[in-house]
Amino acid sequence: MKIAVVGGGPAGLYLSILLKRQDPSHEIAVYERNAAGSTYGWGVTYWAGLLDKLRAGDPESAAAVADASVTWTDGLAIVRDERTVHRGDAGFGIGRRRMLGLLADRAAALGVEVAYEHPIAGPDAPELADADLVVAADGVHSVLREAHADHYGTAFATGRNPYIWLGTSKVFDSFSFAFKETEHGWIWCYAYGFSGERSTCVVECAPGTWTGLGLDTMAEGDCLALLEKLFHDLLDGHELIGRDRGAEPAQWLRFRTLTTRAWHHGRTVLLGDAAHTTHYSIGAGTTLALEDALALADALRSHPDDLDTALTAYGRRRRAELVSAQSAARLSAQWYENLPRYMGLEPDRMFALLGQRHSPLLPYVPPQLYYRIDRAAGRLEALRRLKRWLGPRLARATHRV
Ligand SMILES: Cc1cc2nc3c(=O)[nH]c(=O)nc-3n(C[C@H](O)[C@H](O)[C@H](O)COP(=O)(O)OP(=O)(O)OC[C@H]3O[C@@H](n4cnc5c(N)ncnc54)[C@H](O)[C@@H]3O)c2cc1C
């Protein structure tokens, strides 16, 4: 089979590895518009379950990803000046550039052609002309998807709050949050390590806080200096690192949640962020993109002689599997958009409800009461069952996908 993959992000590279392993006679080319080693973003998080799936898909790249990752078990929240520590589950962080480098090396070692600085203009590009399968792994702004946006049923919902994705020289050993109250409202960030030298730091606030503090017009250097001052107790005097934009405004964005109804069109199939995005605050987009690749490789193996059936089965399976992550992502984004609702609680209670932000019940129950029910549910099996029963029903009723 001749396979053209557009986009050398985690989804496209990992799929090329899986398909080449599945059948070394496949001719696979990955076209990436950026130069090798240049990518957006800092580190990304994932949780232990992903490594098991990666090991099943390709033990070599799974081992390389595990070796290049850092891990933590604790959570820390600084609310105003008060620190609360929560002993939690193991989380992992890996530099985005490092992960892409590992996946690209593995793909090349298996015989995949990875072509950098090679943008694909659209579905009619000559590079795609004789491919049996075209994979649109070209991210949220996918040109392949946009060319047939009606067919794919593309829909975007833009989040209310501005956010900025930064690096820092402080190396965090726990997943850390800081919430600061300013005269223009709350501003908060979360940070986690992804290497021995760097951590990721994502900052977010309500639009009124953003304009009130002047962050909407500030040059990047001034913006970083102000954020370093606001979060000095979290950063311990370390610097925040942006995109080196000098006097240009910093790159604040509003998150766009993408959903699509159909995932393939003829021989072209959507993968990863080209098909769906989930709010960054659940830290799942890369995991979901890699799981898409595993599911697509599976479907192609199960239906070797019927591309349409394979692509239909893949889309159906992944749309169903994604429902809970999409619901969690919406609820998580809304939790932050409604932050003042939770900031009157004692910091340890606020932190406990931050951990519950995916709950479909939480928006409907006063936070103090929810906290008490949740504590009691931890002790009483009947209440826990009621929570489990009611939660998904409310989620389905409020988020029809
Ligand atoms: C602030 C923030 C924090 C995040 N944190 C996490 C996290 O902690 N954990 C997590 O799992 N996920 C996180 N994510 C999400 C994650 O970054 C994405 O979900 C993931 O990168 C999707 O992978 P992908 O391969 O589908 O797309 P991408 O990584 O976007 O890759 C697409 C690739 O296609 C290339 N491309 C685009 N158009 C063309 C073209 N026409 N021709 C050739 N190449 C093209 C691009 O250059 C890019 O390299 C975060 C996202 C944001 C915004």
Enumerate residues 6+ apart whose C-beta is below 8 A from 339.
179, 186, 188, 206
Residue 183, amino acid: E
* pLDDT for the residue 142: 98
How close is the Cα of 391 to the center of ligand 1, in Å? 31
pLDDT given for residue 384 in this prediction: 66
What pLDDT digit, counting tens, does each position of 15-38 carry? 999 999 999 999 999 999 999 988
Q: Are 85 and 174 in contact (CB under 8 A)?
A: yes
Mean pLDDT along residues 97-109:
97
Beta bridge partners of 166: 201
Sheet of strand 2-6: strand arrangement: 113-115, 27-31, 2-6, 133-136, 268-270, 264-265
Structure tokens at 293: 């690749």
Cα 373 to averaged position of ligand 1 atoms, centre (Å)? 38
DSSP state of 239: P
73-93, pLDDT tens digit by residue?
999 999 988 999 988 778 999
Alpha helices in 153-261 (DSSP H): 207-212, 220-230, 232-235
Q: State if residue 257 touches ligand 1 by the CB under 6 angstroms criterion.
A: no
Q: 307-337 vs 285-302: helix axis angle to the nearest 10? A: 160
- Pocket of ligand 1 contains residue 342 by CB under 6 Å: no
Look at residue 401 in the predicted model and tell me its pLDDT.
Answer: 42
**Could you give the CA distance from residue 11 to residue 135 in angstroms, rounded to a whole number?**
10
Q: Ligand 1 pocket test: which of 195, 280, 294, 296 has the largest number of ligand atoms within 8 Å of its C-beta? A: 280
pLDDT above 60 (res 303):
yes
Instruction: Read off the pLDDT of each residue in 323-334 and give the average, rounded to a whole number.
Output: 96
List residues bridging with 135 in a β-sheet.
5, 269
pLDDT tens profile 150-206: 999 999 999 999 999 999 999 999 999 999 999 999 999 999 999 999 999 999 999
Task: Confirm or reject: Cβ of 36 under 6 Å from ligand 1.
Answer: no
Mean pLDDT of 368-374: 91
Distance 9 CA to ligand 1 centre (A): 6
218 lines ligand 1 (CB under 6 A): no
What is the structure's pLDDT at 248? Answer: 83
